[in-house]
Chain A
Amino acid sequence: MPGGMAMAYVFEFTWILQYAPVLLKGIAVTIALTAVGAGAGLALATLCAWIRTQGPRWLRVPVVAYVELIRNTPFLIQLFFIFFGLPSAGLRLGEMQAAMLAMVVNLGAYGAEIIRAGIEATPRGQVEAGLSLAMSRLQVFRHVVLGPAMRRIWPALSSQVVIVMLGSSVVSQIAAEDLTFAANFIQSRNFRSFEVYFVVILLYLALAVILRQALRLAGERLFSRGRAQ
């Protein structure tokens, strides 16, 4: 009906200026969470992948248990357990620490499986070649196995980091003031759901695109084929 346009919703974006500090703080918190989550998470993932493939046997069972526990339970529940549950056991973490810990632990488990896949694809002959050059097992892992493995799985690992960044939107549930918190905060004040969530979607999209590019560049630098040892 042509007459229907008379009732049309009037879009209104002037609130962006008023709430710019809230949005900027939200972006900063999401970036900080992602930086710590990705950095420490990938380190933990690498350690777990090494333990599962070549590490001491007695450590493999706990690592498998950790990886399976995290990969088979919801992130939100892990977060609630850390934030609301652990204080009863005497460990009280603030919302930022709890959010970071949850993200590190989550990426650690998912990343471990991705990296393990890369490691297991390394031909046995290359490992034997390394050992025959009198390298220790750890040296072989670092110089022969890990580099090519990471090169192989880097795109998958990058996607997982982006997933963790986007998944960080649930930390607003424990009052961490990330970008989603900013969106909900503004929406509960001006009730402009369409505009607020639309803007925040664009912000997440921009963050994800930038993060992917950054990870691609980092991957090229860290694991490039010609890199000297």
Chain B
Amino acid sequence: MYNRRLAGALVAALAFCGLVSPASAEALDTILGAGTIKIAVPQDFPPFGTVGPDLQPRGYDIDVARLIGDKLGVKVEIVPVTSANRIPYLQTNRVDLVISSLGRNAEREKVIDFSEAYAPFFNGVFGPADAAVNGPDDLAGKTVGVTRGAVEDLELTKIAPASATIRRYEDNNGTISAFLSGQVELVATGNVVAAAILERNPPKRPESKFLIKNSPCYVGLNKNEPKLLARVNAILAEAKSSGALNAIAKKWLGADLPKDL
């Protein structure tokens, strides 16, 4: 986090000095003219981006990158980045888009633009389909597993009724194991962790019951690129209505896209 901020600040400072000049032509025209779009993706953050057994990047973000490339009718050049350097890569025009499980906050909005959300990323309470839980009050009398000290632990401790039992495990693996072995009926965790549970094909599948904290992922792009932003948003909107994005969510997160995404 600190490094990312530092890198962002550094690049911002460089930009102020005029050392990094923003692209003069519209990025969309440059991309279409070159026939190639360069997209930054993660390679160390499953299921959004990892390196497959064939040494090729794979994951939710890579599929979205390919979808956008297809719709633009250009070749996609995948550029693996880390969470620390993904925004600097964009600001120095090494990439045209960042599709790298990027969350939106006021600090980042000062230096880059964001598309509409393309992937769900949230903390919530998950449980089997037959568990009638729609909000914190429904946790009364139930046992919920959570990773101690995580954001969802702190939030759940505030909102859960007194009769709910919160079991706090040392790490995500403990929380996952407690759910899989039936030691807890529900878990409060990130949707990515829930997806990791789903991957093991448990007899009781953890389904999203209610949200604790929502921080979906957005495509990042340079400021003052209205044509590119509009195209990316149009492609995402179409992918949402056609079900193409939902298919990607099912494939990598094991769950349908939330309706409000």
Contacts and interface: CB of A to CB of B under 8 A. Distances in A.
Interface of A: 83-85, 87-88, 92, 94-95, 172-175, 181, 184-185, 188-189
- Enumerate the 5 nearest inter-chain pairs by beta-carbon distance, A residue then B residue, closest first: A188-B149, A175-B167, A87-B181, A84-B177, A84-B181
A95 B165 CA distance: 12
Contacts of B153: 188
Contacts, number: 42
Interface of B: 145, 148-149, 153-154, 167-170, 174, 177-178, 181-183
A92 B154 contact: no
A95 B149 contact: no
B145 to A, nearest CB: 7
A84 B178 contact: yes
A188 B149 CA distance: 5
B169 A87 contact: no
A34 to B, nearest CB: 21
Contacts of B168: 175, 181, 185
A173 B181 contact: no
Nearest to A173: B170
Given A188-B148, A188-B153, A173 B169 contact: yes
Nearest to A181: B168
A165 to B, nearest CB: 20
Nearest to A191: B149
Contacts of A181: 168
A175 B178 contact: yes
A172 B167 contact: no
A184 B148 contact: yes
Given A95-B167, A173-B174, A175-B169, A84 B148 contact: no
A170 to B, nearest CB: 10
B154 A189 contact: yes
A83 B183 contact: yes
B145, B174, B182 — which one has the most chain A CB atoms within 10 A of its CB? B174
B256 to A, nearest CB: 29
A85 B153 CA distance: 25
A203 B177 CA distance: 31
Contact of A175 (B145, B149, B182): B145
A57 B165 CA distance: 47
User: Most chain-B CB neighbours within 10 Å: which of A84, A92, A184?
Assistant: A84
Contacts of B145: 175
Contacts of B154: 189
A87 B182 contact: yes
A173 B174 CA distance: 8
Nearest to A85: B181
Contacts of B170: 172-173, 184
Nearest to A80: B177
Contacts of A175: 145, 167-169, 174, 178
